[in-house]
Chains A and B, each alone.
Chain A
Amino acid sequence: MKISFTRSQKKTIARIIASALLFAFVSLLPLDGALRLLAFLIPYFIIGWDVLYHAGRNIIRGRVFDENFLMGLATIGALAIGQYPEAVFVMLFYKTGELFEDVAVARSRQSIADLMSIAPDTANLLRGDEFVTVSPEEVPVGSTILIRAGERIPLDGEVIEGTSELDTAALTGESLPRAVSVGDAVISGCINLSGVLTVKTVKTFGDSAVSRILELVENAAAKKAKAENFISVFARYYTPAVVAAALAAAFIPPLFFNGVWEEWIFRALIFLVVSCPCALVISIPLGFFGGIGAASRHGILIKGGNYLEALAKADTFVFDKTGTITSGTFSVVSADADALYYAAYAGAESTHPLSVSIREAFGTVDRSCVKNITELSGRGISADVAGHQVLSGNAKLLQENGVLFEPDGAEGTAVYVAVDGVYVGCVLLEDTIKPEAQKAFADLRSLGIRKTVMLTGDRAEAAKRVADSVGAAEFRANLLPQDKVAAVEELLAEKNGSLVFVGDGINDAPVLARADIGVAMGALGSDAAIEAADVVLMDDSLTRLPEAIRIAKKTRRIVIQNIVFALGIKFGVIILALFGVATMWEAIFADVGVAVIAILNSMRMLKV
């Protein structure tokens, strides 16, 4: 781990060393009285002059409870009652702690910035018949750009020439390279590993994946978690309260209860040293920031600390079926020969996943003999095939057209076919379930997710097969899009913790918005999904979900540790001081030591 210091940090280090050496030397001198005070004042001013200067400046501006003032007052007080070494020591440690804080914050900012250094600097744009190097902002939509091996893809686009493999790790956390060839979409921020690619751009730089991701992570720090707001509010009352307690401790016992002045003033000074809230206040956003950074390194974009906090409390997971648990492709399990023929022909022009799978199972379709194709949303297709009127679709389609038939009860998705109003048979298809789905569900359960529910517009037989094989506790089938919102609302009323909805982000924006946390999968291409979701998974692997929960829980653990630890030590020292058993050294530990430990603890998040 390389640490580089800024110039002002180097100056501070030099002052700390000089002051510490002088302090050690002065402590060894056999001095008395005023001479001893003068001797200790030298290291005191070397290390503390700026603290006193800032304190003075802030008092003039009417700000009393600032940390410079507190430290200045505490040390001057210590000098006044003859505790010279303590005064120097408090200053020394205070400055060391501050330096440490500075370095830690800079480092975690840097590590997030490195993580996010996925923005490409240049693009090779085709102008006339040669490629010129320009900045990605200057490339209009529809331009042709060239990406050589080793270069980062500057803008989202489509490959028009060449084949290669892409390293998508910086965006998706996926380490396996992805093969691309002509016709495939490529996403900015990925690295071209082997071949030369010629790409036609489909977005401007500002709309490209890389810009959107950077913007999202940058803004995530602004959506604060409850813990962070709590600490800010707490700090606003904590400092004045402790200072008031210090005043009371300094004056009330000596004035009214025959206390010894020096003793009680000393106790009051200890109060002042521990009254600084900075350690607490800084360690909370640092922890959440680290958590958001760790998640984005795994291809999980979390839009704010509040969502990270909510994820840690998740107890219900609701999934959309198609495209989320299943990959959105189907395979034909069984089919009546005539049914397959007519279904393939009726769906000749359709891009619906079912039609595509049926055509694949059938073979080549002669498109010239299909006419009058009508796609009926949520039902199927009606078309003229070689002079016959064909209906191909779900049970509803046939029922509505008065065709008599026996619905098939087998598991899977059924496409029923009727020719000239007479039922000819059905094609039975199965969803392809994502290979990692079962493990992801098991992991979620072991992480304490109480309930997993699958929602689908598909029929119950198809839904049951998928739900059973992945281990979803419940499923709801035959839902229209608006029914999904109602189902989520019903589940929201039952939950204890927070409810997470996972979808592919294409048709489920209202549901994403309604859930406590909306997760859009594989959403790199879809702007609407990135907009509507609270958490965006860059690839479509379900294993990202347990990972996200783990990161969220770890972040929460660290934040709670910091709050309990810092407050515990501070209050502990205050109570000890009240009974006269705390020393100035312990007070300094309660302030600076606790700050350093809390910061180190938060920085563990950066290594996930």
Chain B
Amino acid sequence: MQKSYKLENLCCAHCAANMEHAIKKISGVNSATIAFMTQKLILEAEEENFPAILEEVKKAIRKVEPDCKLIEP
């Protein structure tokens, strides 16, 4: 399942790259791309565990940039 989210307060391109790297390592995530310029995360992950995976993703984002928030559509 692929979903796209807006990221708020994503203010450093290097952090975005680190975040992307961290999210890709979460088990169940098939692919993740963060576009710094449009402040978007495109996440593709296993359907059945999606909510749990999303929580992990949020944790990873907080760890890299504490002020950055994932906005659920």
Interface residues of A (CB under 8 A from B): 57-58, 61-63, 66-67, 102, 105, 108-109, 112, 218-219, 221-222, 224, 232, 235-236, 277-278, 281-282, 285-286, 289
- As a 0/1 sequence over residues 14 to 45 of chain B, the CB contacts with chain A under 8 angstroms (1 = contact) are 11011011000000000001011110101000
Q: Can you report 21 A-B residue pairs in the complex whose CB atoms are below 8 A from each other? A: A57-B66, A58-B66, A61-B63, A66-B15, A105-B37, A108-B37, A112-B37, A221-B38, A222-B33, A222-B40, A224-B33, A224-B35, A232-B17, A232-B20, A235-B14, A235-B17, A236-B17, A282-B36, A285-B13, A285-B36, A289-B37
Complex contact B12–A221 (CB within 8 A)? no
Interface residues of B in 39-58 (CB under 8 A from A): 40, 42
Q: Which residues of B contact A102 (CB under 8 A)?
A: 11
Q: Are B14 and A222 in contact (CB under 8 A)?
A: no
Query: Once bound together, how far apart are the Cα atoms of A340 and B14, in whole Å?
Result: 69
Closest to A292 in B: B37
How many angstroms from the CA of A219 to the CA of B3 in the assembled complex? Answer: 12
Q: Are B17 and A281 touching (Cβ within 8 A)?
A: yes
CA distance A34 to B16 in the complex (A): 41
* Interface class of chain A by DSSP: helix
The smallest C-beta distance from B49 to any residue of chain A, in angstroms, reads: 23
Whether B64 sits at the interface, judged by CB under 8 Å, is yes
Contact residues in A for B42 (Cβ distance below 8 Å)? 219, 222
The number of chain B residues with a CB under 8 A from chain A is 19
Tell me the bound Cα distance from A61 to B17 in angstroms: 18
Q: Among A57, A66, A221, A235, point to the contact of B37 (Cβ < 8 A).
A: A221
Q: Is the CB of B66 within 8 A of A61?
A: yes
**B residues whose Cβ falls under 8 Å from a Cβ of A:** 11-15, 17-18, 20-21, 33, 35-38, 40, 42, 63-64, 66
**Complex Cα spacing A61 to B40, Å:** 24
By a CB distance below 8 angstroms, the chain B residues around A289 are: 37
User: In the complex the two chains form, what is the Cα distance from A224 to B42 in whole Å?
Assistant: 12
Q: What residues on A are CB-neighbors of B12 within 8 Å?
A: 67, 278, 282
Nearest-neighbour CB distance to chain A for B67, whole angstroms, equals: 9
Determine whether the beta carbon of A63 is less than 8 Å from that of B40: no
Residues of B within 8 A of A232 (CB): 17, 20-21
Q: How far is the CB of A97 from chain B (nearest CB, A)?
A: 12
Say whether A277 contacts B14, CB under 8 Å: yes
In the complex, how many angstroms separate the beta carbon of B63 from the nearest chain A beta carbon?
A: 6
Known contacts A61-B63, A222-B33, A224-B33: A67-B14 contact under CB 8 Å? yes
| In contact, B35 and A221 (Cβ under 8 angstroms) | yes
Residue among A58, A62, A109, A281 making CB contact with B14, cutoff 8 Å: A281
Q: A58: nearest residue on chain B (CB-CB)?
A: B66
Closest 5 CB pairs of A and B: A221-B35, A232-B17, A282-B13, A289-B37, A281-B13
In the assembled complex, which residues on chain B have CB atoms less than 8 Å from the CB atom of A57?
66
Q: Please state if B37 and A63 are interface contacts (CB–CB under 8 Å).
A: no
A282 to B13, CA, bound (A): 5
Q: Which residue of A lies closest to B66 (CB)?
A: A57
Query: Smallest Cβ distance from A393 to chain B, in angstroms?
Result: 47
B27 to A: closest C-beta gap in Å: 20
Give min CB distance, A98 to chain B, whole Å: 9
Expressed in whole angstroms, the Cα–Cα distance for A603 and B15 within the complex equals: 21
> Within 8 Å CB of B36, what residues of A?
221, 282, 285
